[in-house]
Amino acid sequence: MIDTGDFYALIGVLIFGLGLHGVLVHAHPLRKILAVNVMGVGVLMVLVATGWRPDGPTDPLPQALAITGIVVAISTTALALAFIRRLLKPSERSRENRRRHDQ
């Protein structure tokens, strides 16, 4: 029988692999950022799973590190989105806006 902590760690590894696949396959920078965020969720899930103890209370340190990781992930995502917006040429931005309105 698989332990609950091991189950969550396995799911975290699978989520990380899904995000890695997205980074390697997609060419658009926004999709790459989303894939990196999915990878981060997988890492945080594995981190929280390491604090699981079946016989007693969970270890609070991995949970605190996961909360800090969430804050860092939000900040780096905002910075990456600002970089993408700055780096895209105005013609590419207008093309993206037209494509978004057509859908």
Q: Which residues of 71-102 are buried (b: 16+ CB within 10 A; e: fewer)?
A: eebeeeeeebeeeeeeeeeeeeeeeeeeeeee
Cα–Cα distance, 43 to 76 (Å, whole number): 15
Q: What is the CA radius of gyration of the chain?
A: 18
**44 token code pair:** 């945080």
Write out pLDDT tens, residues 49-76.
998 888 888 889 999 999 999 999 999 9
CATH 3.30.1370.60 fits 4-102, yes or no: no
Q: What are phi and psi of 71, to 5 degrees?
A: -65, -45
pTM (2 decimals)?
0.80
What's the pLDDT band for 102 if we cut at 50, 70, 90? low
Write out pLDDT tens, residues 7-39.
999 999 999 999 999 999 999 899 999 999 999
CB atoms within 10 A of CB 36: 17
